[in-house]
Structure formats: structure tokens, C-alpha cells
Amino acid sequence: MQPSSGKNVNQRIARISAHLDPPDLHMENTASVSRLNCRAKGGAAGFRVAVLGAAGGIGQPLAMLMKMNPLVSVLHLYDVVNTPGVTSDISHMDTGAVVRGFLGQQQLEEALTGVDLVIIPAGVPRKPGMTRDDLFNINAGIVRTLSEAIAKCCPNAIVNVISNPVNSTVPIAAEVFKKAGTFDPKKLLGVTMLDVVRANTFVAEVLGLDPRDVNVPVVGGHAGVTILPLLSQVKPPCSFTPKEVDYLTDRIQNGGTEVVEAKAGAGSATLSMAYAAVKFADACLRGLRGDASVVECAFVASQVTELPFFASKVRLGRIGVEEIYPLGPLNEYERAGLEKAKKELESSIQKGVSFVRK
């Protein structure tokens, strides 16, 4: 019995292998990967996406949700630690995207080659008592290194920057791309979607609505007073008392700190951020596919104000950011908030620029 059952198994493997493309070389580097971890024929058509920092608190659920996205055909998971395990785990999900893992700096370029969208949640998160700017010293260097590799390996990809402080890391990426001669302002986007997601949730609570029916534009940047919700432009149209405006503005601006404090040293928002990142990445991919009227808020190179970068509503299309919308009519409260936001943003942007130019 023994020899014949072994033979049957081998025949079965041979039959399955005949339906598979050549083995995925990247995966062969990982621990328990067999010949069967190859790309199945008939895998979904779609976009190629890389997640840099894929083994982290945001990276893992983000990778899982991207594996569930029908617009994704190939998902590259890169980190400096633990990608073999995360890749093996996620690759068992019976969704269309093929998952490949890349571990360590020596595999970074391979992870980036040929991708359409790069999502960057790599870097350290806050602990209670820290500001996002306190992360600059570590995360600036990480984003610079990753951006250099992007400029080299996938200069035409759309780049979604999540790593904090976003107000500085986006200018850092822009400077790296400028140095490399690859900067395309339409393709570099700082992810501020979590501010919109929070604003929709908190406003819906106050109004007694389903958050899915609420849309709050949040402009400026992604830290404290630079996060400027435009409560006068909420859809559906509504009004708030001055007390509600104060409460909502404060809660939206400090939503990140609320989570940092609740996690008490164990990091910052990861699950809601992964959700927001995937919502935003999906919008970028729908734009790339050619869908009409894909509009989201993002921190981009902009002429909406006198600052070189600013978050506002943008229309996403085949080439990335196809249109940046003006802020629209602001009330007095929002105009005062805008002045405060610009002051802080200016120095955060300059700090990022100087980091690369120094």
C-alpha cells in the first residue's frame, strides 16, 4: 500500500502542477513554501500593489484587506521582518490576488518592480505623550530609503504615504523623487483618509445618521490643528450648534491621540487605519481603471493655498490626481482654523524638504 499511495500523491501533485505557472521564486526563500505555492492559472486580472511595512500593526490587516480587493491581481508584501509568515498566512485566502513576500533591504527592489500602486505604512508609531512630529527622526529616514527605491524601480507607480508625520514624509518623498528626476505630483498622495473616516463617524453620531450616508471634507494636513474638518460642507447638508462644532472639531483633530491613549503604549490606530488605507487605495485603483468621479481627500502637491502641499478633495483618474478642488466657501470658524493649520503645516513641510536637501 505504501509505495502505491506515495505514487498517487505524486501523480496528483504532478496534475496540479501542470495547471500552474512556474514557481514563484520570491516565495521559495520563505520557510515552508512548496512547489505548490505558485501562481494558479486563471488568477484575477487587475493591478499590482506593493505594501511596504506589511508585517506591522497597519500592514497586516491592510495586506489582508488588499488580498480581498477584486481590483488587485498581485500583492507584494515587503518588510524588514516577518514577511514570510504574513505572506504564507494571507496567501491561503481564496481570493483572486496572488501574494508574494519580500524580506529585507536586499529584496526591496524586487518587491517594487512592475507595481502600479505602492502603499507605505512602514515606520514607528506614537506612544502616549508623543506628537506625530516626534516620529520624524526615525520615520524620515525610512521614507527616504523607500522613496529612493520607488524612484528607481517603479517611477510611474501611484504612491500612498501613511507613515507619520505625513505632513513631512510626503515632502520627503517628493524631494527624493525630484532628485531622481521622477517626481510626478499627480502620483504622490499622503493618506488623510482616516481623518475623513473619523469625521464621518463622529458627525453621524451627533446627527443620528448612518455613517455610510455622511461625507465630511477634511482638509489641511494630518496632525492636530492641521486637520481641518469643513463642517459647513457636510453632506447631507446640516447645521450644528457652536458647541457641537467645538466638540466635533476637537474630536476629529485628536482622534489619533484618543486611540494612542486607549492603547496605552501598545501603538496607535491600526485597524481603522488599515480600513481607511484600503478605502483610499481602492479609490486610487478605481481611478486608474478609468472610473469617473472618484473624489477623495488627500495630502498632495497643491496650489489651493500658498503652501506647496495641502490636503483637499482631489479627483482620481488614470494618471493619479487629475483635479484638485478648491476649498469652497468657509465660515469664520473654518477661516480661523485654516490660518492656524497653515502656520503649523508650513514648518512641517519645510522640515521634510530640508531633511532631503541638507
Ligand X SMILES: O=C([O-])CC(=O)C(=O)O
Ligand Y SMILES: NC(=O)C1=CN([C@@H]2O[C@H](COP(=O)(O)OP(=O)(O)OC[C@H]3O[C@@H](n4cnc5c(N)ncnc54)[C@H](O)[C@@H]3O)[C@@H](O)[C@H]2O)C=CC1
Using CB under 6 A as the binding criterion, the count of chain residues that bind ligand X stands at: 11
Q: 45 among the known binding-site residues? A: no
What distances in angstroms separate CA 313 from CA 192, 217, 279, 295, 323, one per listed residue?
Answer: 11, 7, 15, 6, 9
Q: Figure out which of the listed residues 194, 285, 294, 316 binds ligand X, where binding follows CB under 6 A.
A: 194
- Please identify, using beta-carbon distances, which residue of 101 and 121 lies nearer to ligand Y: 121
Count of C-beta atoms within a 10 Å radius of residue 93: 12
CA distance 343 to 195: 19
Which residues have CB under 8 Å from 350's CB, separation 6+? none
Task: Pick the stretch among 58-66, 103-111, 251-259, 295-303 that binds ligand X (CB under 6 A).
Answer: 251-259
Stretch that binds ligand Y, among 30-38, 119-127, 212-220, 278-286 (CB under 6 A): 119-127
Judge contact between 160 and 130, C-beta under 8 A.
no
Residue-wise over 130-168: b if at least 16 C-beta within 10 A, else e? eebbebbeebbebbbebbbbbbebbeebbbbbbbbbbbb
Residue 260 within binding range of ligand X, rule CB under 6 A: yes
Beta carbon of residue 118, minimum distance to ligand Y (angstroms, whole number): 11
The H or E element spanning position 120 is: strand 117-120
- State which residue, 120 or 248, has the beta carbon closest to ligand Y: 120
Does position 166 interact with ligand Y (CB under 6 A)? The reply is yes
222 has catalytic annotation: yes
Backbone angles phi, psi at 62, to 5 degrees: -65, -45
Residue 53 assigned ligand-binding role = yes
Minimum CB distance to ligand Y, residue 78 (Å): 6
**Residue 79 makes contact with ligand Y by CB under 6 A:** yes
Which CB, 185 or 256, lies closer to ligand Y?
256
Residue of 69, 87, 164, 169 interacting with ligand X (CB under 6 A): 164
Nearer to ligand X, 95 or 257 (CB): 257
Partner whose footprint covers residue 313, from ligand Y, ligand X, none (CB < 5 to 8 Å by kind): none
Give residue 289's identity as a one-letter amino acid code. R
Among 61, 84, 101, 121, binds ligand Y (CB under 6 A): 121
Residue with cell 482638509: 219
* DSSP output for 62-82: HHHHHHT-TTEEEEEEEESS-
- Footprint on this chain of ligand X (rule: CB under 6 A): 125-126, 132, 164, 194, 256-257, 259-260, 268-269
Residues belonging to the active site: 222
